[in-house]
Amino acid sequence: MVLTFLGTAASEGFPDAFCRCDNCERARRGGGRNLRLRSAALVNDDLLIDFGPDILAASALYGVPLTNVAYCIQTHDHEDHLTPHNFFARSPMCKVEGAPRMRYFAHRKAITRAMPALGNEFALIDGMPSAELCDRLNIDVAPIELFQQFMAGPYTITTVRAQHAPETVALLFVIERDGRTLFYATDTGDFPEETWAALRGFRFDVVALDHTFGDWERSSNAHLTGHQFRAHLKRLREEGMLAEGARVYAHHFVHHSNPPHEELVALGARHGYEIAYDGLRVWI
Ligand SMILES: [Zn+2]
Ligand SMILES: [Zn+2]
Ligand SMILES: [Zn+2]
């Protein structure tokens, strides 16, 4: 598999366009890898992780067409990960011809949020879009649950519970193909014990893990701080969940708590992890 990071920032983007903090000003001056769009990722050219607000910009900026996306898996329904208008952008309603029919896998909470946001005629029936609506959008919709395993074409995907926010149900994804395994884990605070239990037996080749509140001293229960990130890295290692040569990437950075890219790289290097940036491709 090839993982492409389409965005690596938390909900405000990095820099936050409205912010004059030192991290934002230095990111503006530095440009390049310091500039982060809101989080999403692509596996190969056909599996999209999150239907976020910046995927169209990322596609253009990093030369990553989304024309072959046939599966989209949704972590949760927060706005920095889910922009319903994207459904139009890839549909025949916007004169997009020949796109694959996209299977959209999401928890019912996200489905309930996304479809009605498209307009009154997109009201759901028993929580699901009608067949006619799916045809108009060139999609199929598949509700998924916590701790479920399902197939998305050639990918075997397992969901586990994130600890995130009470108003949503947030999923972390284990994605397997051809004997290789990716663990995509944002947005989350400390993993619940039931999540650790469900992860037992997996050996990850690549992990993309939440590093939102990098330099906070106090812990968060919605995201990971750098300190919590490193504790998770240690436990992943101790539990034997990292394959030989596994690479662990920090991801989903907020501007007020993380320095510009090169300083993050130096920090990660001291602790045995790498720093994702927008447009980064990782061969798994
Ligand atoms: Zn987020
Ligand atoms: Zn800032
Ligand atoms: Zn979130």
Q: Which domain holds residue 67?
A: 2-283
pLDDT tens readout for residues 106-162: 999 999 999 888 888 888 888 899 999 999 999 999 999 999 999 999 999 999 999
Q: Give distance in angstroms: CA of 129 to centre of ligand 3.
A: 24
Distance CA(8)–CA(6), nearest Å, equals 7
Q: Residue 24 CA: which ligand is closest?
A: 2
How far is the C-alpha of 101 from the C-alpha of 140, rounded, in Å?
7
State pTM to two decimals: 0.97
Measured in Å, residue 278 CA sits from the centre of ligand 1 at: 15
Nearby residues for ligand 2 (ion, Cβ within 5 Å): 16, 19, 21, 24, 255
Tell the burial category of 263 from Cβ atoms under 10 Å away from its Cβ (0-12, 13-18, 19+).
middle
Q: pLDDT for 200-227, tens place per residue? A: 999 999 999 999 999 999 999 999 999 9
24 C-alpha to ligand 2 centroid (Å): 4
**Residue 262 C-alpha to ligand 2 middle, in angstroms?**
17
Question: CATH code at 208?
Answer: 3.60.15.10
Domain count, the chain: 1
